[in-house]
Amino acid sequence: MLNGNRDYDRHYKNEADRQVHYEAFVKSLKEINRANAEQPGTLFDINLFADYTEEENEHHLGFVEDKQRKKVDLYDFLHNLQN
């Protein structure tokens, strides 16, 4: 969030909302640092999504997991297709 409020024109509803997004930012920063350490030839950096919560990311990525669906093992699924 360092300069995120200025760089990405962030405005939070209240202090609680700011805190939620700050925690999301810290989580993203840890993930960025981990990815940079694991892949030295690639640079991961802070961007406008760094303070998004998981729910906000899911909304923007368009994927919403259906928690009601039964999880199926891929091997079993393919095996059943052949029979």
Spans of all domains in the chain: 3-80
Q: What is the DSSP string of 32-62?
A: HHHHHHH-TTS-----TTTT--HHHHHHHHT
From first to last of its 83 residues, the chain has per-residue pLDDT tens of 555 556 778 889 999 999 999 999 999 999 999 999 999 999 999 999 999 999 898 888 776 667 777 777 888 878 888 76
> Phi/psi class of residue 66: alpha, beta or left (left: φ > 0; alpha: ψ in -120 to 50)?
beta
pTM for the model stands at 0.65
Q: Which CATH number fits domain 3-80: 1.10.1060, 2.60.40, 1.10.287, 1.20.120?
A: 1.10.287
How far is Cα 42 from Cα 18, in angstroms, rounded to an integer?
30
CA dist 81 and 83 (Å) reads 6
- Amino acid occupying residue 37: A
